[in-house]
Amino acid sequence: MADTTWPTSLRDLWLKDGFREVPPKNMLRTGMDIGPAKVRRRTTANVRPFFGQMFLTPALVVVLDDFFVTSTKSGTLTVELKHPRTGAIGTYRFVTEPQYAPHNRGSIASIQLELLP
């Protein structure tokens, strides 16, 4: 169960152009002196990273920034969020701080999260 939920005002603002998702990195390869490498699964469950962007007005930048700093205690608490691609509800954690870049009359926020198993 997540510690907090994603702010309602930020729920459906994910940009399709800035979205990237990566399957969990869960393979361990060990090189051998002779012959092919040995390969095995590292764990039975692993985090699934994803990268997203949102176009935010100045007021929504304040919402996201306050959510990150206060509600998630600078990214240390988990967040319940609807997955931007699948729509499934999951428990996520920030990997890095949100980054903001000026764009037209607002900002593009770049966000890196990981879906927890």
Task: Please write the tens of the pLDDT for every residue from 33-76.
Answer: 999 999 998 888 889 999 999 999 999 999 999 999 999 999 99
SS3 state at 9: helix
- Give me the domain span that covers residue 99: 4-115
pTM value is 0.85
Inform me whether the pLDDT recorded for 29 exceeds 90.
yes
3, two tokens: 């510690």
pLDDT, average across residues 81-105? 94
CATH number of the domain that 94 lies in? Answer: 2.40.30
Task: Please write the tens of the pLDDT for every residue from 98-114.
Answer: 999 999 899 999 999 99
Closest CA to 68 of 4, 116, 115, 22: 4
Q: How many domains does the chain have?
A: 1
Radius of gyration of the chain (CA): 17
State residue 24's pLDDT score.
87
Residue 14: DSSP 8-state: B
